[in-house]
Structure 1
């Protein structure tokens, strides 16, 4: 077979605010690959089917001299994130051509993966009748984040009240449903009426649009809060600190107000961590997801999703060339559901 184009998305420039399509990232079709002859060196060759656009990728668009929990993208090289791919050729025992994997891959049409370490990749069992793209959402990193964070840190008790921010996203909507399964009252916020309707549909008792409704007023009326699941930070976190119940648990999963605005935040209610004996748990899922929790996740969650007991929705964008615009939409909160790029059909 002659060489074919291996299109990719290159990290081109470090943004100072929101990532700019065509400047921060550039779609490139200058490279080719010989699918039959390219050396695998003991690894696998995969065809990328779906890629996930997650908020945390913004933190990797930085100067490499700035330390963080994940490496910075390298100028001139493809960006990378979670993806689903089909194995075309394999030199790894037990991994056959035609199988499907989910894990960290480069944003390009074809990838050579040197190994499939279990802490970085999952070989998909297709016995559950769900779309492959779901392994980037409810059955992938976002689902693991919700499942693990809730199990480890919520200490939830029936009758308590939880407040979930970004409640229409893949993590937040999962947390809402976990909280309802545990018997909690759930308050949830998002940034559009469509998202508010979705949060109600998955069980939120109080769902509101933070852009048109005062968060602090809602929390004063519907609280106090026992469990706070945070994706936002900033004023919303400060409002949660004011309205927390003594002994409340704060689960810090993300702070998107800081991702594109490196300036400092001012908190009026930070002293409540002490005066209300609050527990604050910040976490990165890859640090916390041990083998036991990973096994429990795959034993429990795929069946919950395939049976409809856990609801999930996604927003699929066609073509690798759409990546820059999708990145920007996710950072601005303009996506209506989990943002996924369909790179190729499964043929």
Structure 2
């Protein structure tokens, strides 16, 4: 077979403020690959189907000198994130052509994966769309499910406040909380998202852009659990609204990711006065083999039965990656942001 185009989406420059499509990141189709002869070196050749676009990707668009919990993207190299693909060729006995796999992949159409340590074969007994495995049945779902299980210590009758309650993580947290018998307060940034939160059972759903968060929490709190995806003034409001011994699960702070000067929370004394527990949560600390088995045995079946409902915001083609990243950072996406590279 003659070489074919291997489109990629590259990190082009470090942004100041919001990433700019076509400038911060660029699509490149100059690379080709011979699918029959490319050397696998004991690995696998994967055709990409779907990639996840997540808020944390903004934090990887930084100088190499700026240290964090994950290494930064490299200028001139493809972006990376969790994706689903299908194996075309294999030199590893754990994988065979036709297997669908999930892993952290570079953003390109075809991938030679030599390190298969963290590549997972997806059984998909429920016959879910493959894009589900970069969303509700992927890393965002893992974050929601295990974060809630590990950190919430939820008790029936308690009250939880969930930010980005219509998003891929927040919406699942809200549904898990309802299944556990909690009262759920949740915020989002549009009236359309508020309607979705109501449909999934949120008790008090509001648009934080048009409704005062402080007043909502004063009326419907106090809160026993706070799931934080935004930080900033909302975190400050939650600290004031917290019950004694409340649990704060710090999962993200998207309101601060594109700010030159992060907001300084002023009421941290509440942590001491109210004896709050603060849990910083990153999913890779908790994806043990046992937890991974529980997640894949449990959550896809819940999705198939309708116990967990989710929205997807699909864009087609690697050319759309920059646009999707900006949508997520600015809150314009409606549901889990997914890049569909190929249907099969």
- Deviation beyond 2 Å, 4+ runs, structure 1: none
User: Which SS does the other structure have where 1:179 is aligned?
Assistant: helix
> Shift in Å at residue 294 of structure 1?
1.2
* 1:245 corresponds to: 243
Whether the 8 Å contact between 2:311 and 2:334 is mirrored in structure 1 is no
Structure 1 Cα separation of the partners of residues 260 and 98 of structure 2? 44
* 2:134 corresponds to: 136
* 2:75 corresponds to: 75
Deviations 1:64-102 (A, max 9, x none): 010011111111111111111000000111311011001
**Stretch moving more, 336-345 or 240-249:** 336-345
Whether the 8 Å contact between 1:319 and 1:343 is mirrored in structure 2 is yes
> Shift in Å at residue 315 of structure 1?
1.1
Matched, 1:255 2:246: no
Matched, 1:25 2:25: yes
Structure 2 Cα separation of the partners of residues 289 and 229 of structure 1? 19
| One of 228, 252, 255 as aligned partner of 1:230 | 228
Structure 1 Cα separation of the partners of residues 174 and 262 of structure 2? 30
> Shift in Å at residue 266 of structure 1?
2.0
Matched, 1:298 2:284: no
* 1:219 corresponds to: 217
| One of 330, 339, 342 as aligned partner of 1:341 | 339
* 2:98 corresponds to: 98
User: Which SS does the other structure have where 1:170 is aligned?
Assistant: coil
> Shift in Å at residue 344 of structure 1?
1.3
* 2:119 corresponds to: 121
| One of 175, 178, 189 as aligned partner of 1:177 | 175
Structure 2 Cα separation of the partners of residues 297 and 37 of structure 1? 37
Structure 1 Cα separation of the partners of residues 54 and 74 of structure 2? 18
Structure 2 unaligned segments of length 5 or more: list them: none
Structure 1 Cα separation of the partners of residues 280 and 208 of structure 2? 23
Structure 1 unaligned segments of length 5 or more: list them: none
> Shift in Å at residue 264 of structure 1?
3.1
Whether the 8 Å contact between 1:46 and 1:111 is mirrored in structure 2 is yes
Deviations 1:27-60 (A, max 9, x none): 0011000000000000000000111111111100
* 1:36 corresponds to: 36
Structure 2 Cα separation of the partners of residues 262 and 146 of structure 1? 29
> Shift in Å at residue 136 of structure 1?
0.5
Structure 2 Cα separation of the partners of residues 319 and 108 of structure 1? 10
User: Which SS does the other structure have where 2:71 is aligned?
Assistant: coil
Report the TM-score, using the length of structure 1 for normalisation: 0.98
Tell me how many residue pairs correspond in the alignment.
344
Matched, 1:60 2:51: no
User: Which SS does the other structure have where 2:93 is aligned?
Assistant: coil
| One of 261, 278, 281 as aligned partner of 1:280 | 278
Whether the 8 Å contact between 1:92 and 1:115 is mirrored in structure 2 is no
For the aligned residue pairs, the C-alpha RMSD in angstroms reads 0.8
Structure 2 Cα separation of the partners of residues 180 and 278 of structure 1? 23
Whether the 8 Å contact between 2:20 and 2:322 is mirrored in structure 1 is yes
Matched, 1:5 2:5: yes
Structure 2 Cα separation of the partners of residues 164 and 276 of structure 1? 19
User: Which SS does the other structure have where 2:169 is aligned?
Assistant: helix
**Stretch moving more, 336-345 or 159-168:** 336-345
> Shift in Å at residue 115 of structure 1?
3.0
Report the TM-score, using the length of structure 2 for normalisation: 0.99
